[in-house]
Structure 1
Amino acid sequence: MARSAPIALLAAAMLAACPAVRADGLRPYVVVGDAIPVSLTGTNGDATRGRALIVERSSTCILCHSGPFPEQAFQGDLAPNLAGSGNRWSEGQLRLRLVDAAHLNPATIMPSYYRVDGLSRVGNAWRGKPILSAEQIEDIVAYLVTLRD
């Protein structure tokens, strides 16, 4: 824990030097190791909204992942079960996996939900736009960290 404090301070200082929103409409972030330690919005997300986004098929999470969603009859089996996510990954690690999973694994099939550059096979309706907003990313992270079992 003592080691993460200087990293978080460094990331916060780096973000403070950046403009609030980039030219492409995305908020800047800093990857530190295998995580984005600082919230994209500067605030915590809402776990209730995050759960709703995960089970909503349009966000695509539930198409590949399964988890503690008993009301969902058809859950994915292509990706890790989301149960226990809060034990396996830190908030910052979860954030990077949502923002740009390809940063960690270039061969991943998981979409980069908050990246618009350097992507291939992007539908015309989505070119130049993130799949999820910064607020939605933070909501999903807020929910995933609660999954401890």
Structure 2
Amino acid sequence: MAEMLGDVFHVCPLQYFAQELSAAGHQVFVYVFSAKPSQSQWPEEQRPALYEDLPFLFGAPFSEPGPTWERLLSARMIDLLADFVHRGVLPTLDDGTAWPPYKHLRPAVVEIGSSGLRMLASGFRDGICRRLRPHLLGNRGRTASIAGCVRGNDPFRRE
């Protein structure tokens, strides 16, 4: 039940939004966080909950007791975010390949986990989201334009 609700309210809508932004000509990069934090309140067999990557991005493993791998992953995620914000650069994956942009027809998703950065073979929950799309989007193909993200329509531009 929790996985279905996550798909309906989080995973699939973000996937549709990434597809629309990419189709409109924007560069999109997607990741899935798969490292289960030692402090998680959720069962071990369940994937990390929404926002369980935030403590890693903000360095929480350095101020709380926990496994060494959590501090290493936190440092890597902080560096990843800082480099992307300051220089627009994403790190190479552990296999040496560049972090690929997400494309509508080639949904490249990088997994950030306790063992590093790796490319997922077939996106993340793509089959489920394809089946849910007609039920979740009554206005097919208008996600980006509704959000004001069509190329040339910058919602943050001041006239």
What is the TM-score with the length of structure 2 in the denominator? 0.25
Which structure shows the higher strand fraction? Answer: 2
Using the size of structure 1 for normalisation, the TM-score is 0.26
